[in-house]
A and B are shown apart, each in its own frame.
Chain A
């Protein structure tokens, strides 16, 4: 072949190869950008979404956008940087989740919004430093807001001067993204766990669930229950109602016997001290509400005196309670110790709380050492079995000296302890039962709600709520617990690893020599090699 042809060919080849190389690189870059596979090497894959979250995301029926207007800047307080770091890793996991309606994450700068297709305009977002969830149908929910108020004046006494760091800490703390705050040094609190997945999931589910306002708590009537309208200073429930309305929850009453199905807006049902038996139809309504409708039920049962009722234990609710793992015997808690009773009102003190796991309902009560004022109580026990789709917790107990009397109406006073039939103290008085996510989904109870049983309706009565700070705190916790969207309690929080070092000056000096050994080894091997290569 002539060189002339070869040259022409070669030049052509060169150009083709150059063009090919660049377009290939461009194309590969493009393709590669679409790959969002990540290999999570951490133990338990703690940076990937939990199976529970994935299962819930798969059930979503509309897309949800997560919008972050919180800029990633080095000038931000350290806690915010930590938050953005944790959030980034989490959002990545959300974005990568393979769900029918993918979670779309938009990181936006409100000051320089994109020229068109502006998601900020669509959701009317103008503020920076926000994390929010939004869906086209259900609007937006602010998950996190951080106001860095630079304008606070240190000389103006009406305005507390706070460092940006402290403001940031407060914002983070309030958002509930972190838990287990511990003091690390000089009063600085550092979080121990990151609950971001749970928090975000809650907002996402809130947005993605059918648009329906469930903001009413119904009190049952027709069984001699105390009424939320009752202003009676002793028996009424009007204080409880007030507490509920403070939380923007509507309160209404409901006769289960007259309705065919529970109202759609029902958030929870309160059965406060019924005196009469529940009919099968009513129990069916209750069961349906609890098991299929994410219903929350607060059942406050007093010890029953009438022997006539003993053929239908727990006023006919026993089978339902049993399904949910709660045993509620017709017993009475008896305490021989005088000091467990209030001298003036005769109220019984409940001071013993569940020890190990701290349930949100009693956690702060435990920490603050509140006691709960009660009247006559009945035991509310939990029977946990591994097959049960529900998992129960006993939260508040009577004193160690007390015991529960069986067939108490027939016992003489003071009673003799019958070790065979009586229940030894401390006797549980407040218990909750919730679905165990894994087993509940196997049993087809994916939409199960939660149940709380109180062994005394008086705990939430006007009298006790007015006089007992502990009762008030408990009532608030119960209302919060009923209102909160607790469907994913099983999402494990990510334990944050905090790194620290504490070495003395001498140890640092020693470390310096340790470190110096590496370059010195390099240097000496260099000298050695050049000596080997040396030629005389």
Chain B
């Protein structure tokens, strides 16, 4: 954990002054804003049964494969290409502290973008208070549930991004890898969505394996719970396990880079 705070500060500063962060956020937020506006406009005709706020959360979650690479691809790949990683490693910094610092910075920026996206409903509230109430924006538990969902999925997504960034020297490759991994992950979760299984007592090996896969298997099933303000602990913990796994793998990979 040596130097975690300094790495975090440095990374945040790096993201803060990097134009690519702003460009990516601008495009992402623009698209999301347009999408959300049209969603609100056509809300009465959609088959959306969850609170309208959750549409934004879903948009951010499924848009993450396009956003997270911009936040994570530079972290290790670019530093490796430039050789600054070596300079960094010559200081007394632990690999885990380094990975954790970079991951926290990426997650922090992801959350900032989420917070900016959540400004859309707030602006709607500011401009049209009655409409916001009739859209359920005044229900605090929807906000808390949505934020918790975004935070934990953001954590695992950025961890995947950091891992992809460790694997290669080319940041484009890292970005594409992140995109692919996250898309596959979301696809796997969406594919198994709704296939409820009685997992309290797995009876055979395949079920056992499926349970072990954790969030990969039906990871989004509880999304509707979060949307209505129920925090499902197992979903949070599954993502935490995933985050832990990918950060661990990243640390090992950074260690391996030295050899």
Using CB atoms and an 8 Å cutoff, list the residues of chain A in contact with chain B: 10, 14, 17-18, 21-22, 24-30, 32-43, 47, 71-74, 78, 81-82, 85, 88-89, 92, 104-107, 116-117, 185, 497, 499-503, 507-508, 510-512, 514-519, 522-523, 525-526, 529-530, 533
Number of interface residues of B (CB under 8 A): 79
Residue of A whose beta carbon sits closest to that of B256: A14
CA distance A508 to B34 in the complex (A): 11
Given the interface pairs A81-B47, A85-B50, the reply to whether A518 lies near B211 with Cβ below 8 Å is no
CA distance A78 to B44 in the complex (A): 12
Q: List 30 A-B contacts (CB under 8 A).
A: A18-B252, A25-B241, A29-B213, A32-B241, A33-B214, A36-B234, A37-B233, A38-B230, A38-B231, A39-B231, A42-B139, A42-B229, A42-B230, A47-B225, A47-B228, A85-B224, A116-B204, A185-B44, A497-B139, A503-B41, A507-B128, A508-B37, A508-B40, A517-B123, A518-B33, A518-B117, A518-B119, A519-B26, A519-B27, A526-B22
**How many A-B contacts at CB < 8 Å in the complex?**
197
- Chain B: interface secondary structure? helix
Min distance, Cβ A365 to any Cβ of chain B, angstroms: 34
Q: Which residues of A contact B176 (CB under 8 A)?
A: none
Min distance, Cβ B190 to any Cβ of chain A, angstroms: 11
Contact, CB under 8 Å: A35 / B22: no
Given the interface pairs A35-B234, A42-B228, A42-B230, the reply to whether A522 lies near B196 with Cβ below 8 Å is no
Contact, CB under 8 Å: B120 / A518: yes
CA distance A117 to B197 in the complex (A): 13
Interface residues of B in 209-259 (CB under 8 A from A): 211-215, 224-225, 228-234, 237-238, 241-242, 244-245, 248-249, 252, 255-256, 259
CA distance A39 to B33 in the complex (A): 30
Q: Which residues of A contact B255 (CB under 8 A)?
A: 14
Partner of B127, one of A39, A71, A499, A511: A511
Using CB atoms and an 8 Å cutoff, list the residues of chain B in contact with chain A: 16-17, 19, 21-23, 25-27, 29-30, 33-34, 36-37, 40-41, 43-44, 47, 49-52, 116-117, 119-120, 123-124, 126-128, 131, 134-136, 139-141, 144-145, 193-200, 203-204, 208, 211-215, 224-225, 228-234, 237-238, 241-242, 244-245, 248-249, 252, 255-256, 259
Residue of A whose beta carbon sits closest to that of B215: A29
Given the interface pairs A507-B128, A519-B30, the reply to whether A41 lies near B233 with Cβ below 8 Å is no
Q: Which residues of A contact B200 (CB under 8 A)?
A: 34, 36
CA distance A24 to B245 in the complex (A): 9
Contact, CB under 8 Å: A499 / B23: no
Given the interface pairs A29-B211, A515-B120, the reply to whether A500 lies near B44 with Cβ below 8 Å is yes
Question: What 13 additional pairs, Cβ within 8 angstroms, besides A497-B51, A523-B22?
Answer: A28-B214, A33-B199, A33-B238, A42-B229, A78-B49, A81-B49, A89-B225, A105-B196, A501-B41, A508-B41, A518-B116, A518-B119, A526-B21
Min distance, Cβ B253 to any Cβ of chain A, angstroms: 11
Given the interface pairs A30-B211, A88-B224, the reply to whether A516 lies near B43 with Cβ below 8 Å is no
- Chain A: interface secondary structure? helix
Contact, CB under 8 Å: B49 / A28: no
Contact, CB under 8 Å: B144 / A41: yes
Given the interface pairs A25-B214, A30-B212, A41-B145, the reply to whether A17 lies near B252 with Cβ below 8 Å is yes
Contact, CB under 8 Å: B47 / A78: yes
CA distance A529 to B140 in the complex (A): 34
Q: Which residues of B contact A27 (CB under 8 A)?
A: 212
Closest 6 CB pairs of A and B: A526-B22, A29-B214, A72-B194, A41-B141, A107-B196, A515-B33
Residue of B whose beta carbon sits closest to that of A92: B225
Given the interface pairs A500-B44, A519-B33, the reply to whether A29 lies near B241 with Cβ below 8 Å is yes
Q: Which residues of A contact B248 (CB under 8 A)?
A: 17, 21
Q: Which residues of A contact B233 (CB under 8 A)?
A: 35-39
Contact, CB under 8 Å: B25 / A522: yes
CA distance A81 to B46 in the complex (A): 12
Given the interface pairs A25-B244, A38-B230, A106-B198, the reply to whether A117 lies near B211 with Cβ below 8 Å is no
Given the interface pairs A501-B135, A514-B127, the reply to whether A29 lies near B212 with Cβ below 8 Å is yes
Partner of A501, one of B44, B214, B241: B44
CA distance A383 to B223 in the complex (A): 49
User: Which of B36, B136, B140, B234 has the most chain A CB atoms closer than 10 A to its own CB?
Assistant: B234
Residue of B whose beta carbon sits closest to that of A45: B230
CA distance A105 to B200 in the complex (A): 11
CA distance A476 to B119 in the complex (A): 56
Contact, CB under 8 Å: B37 / A511: yes
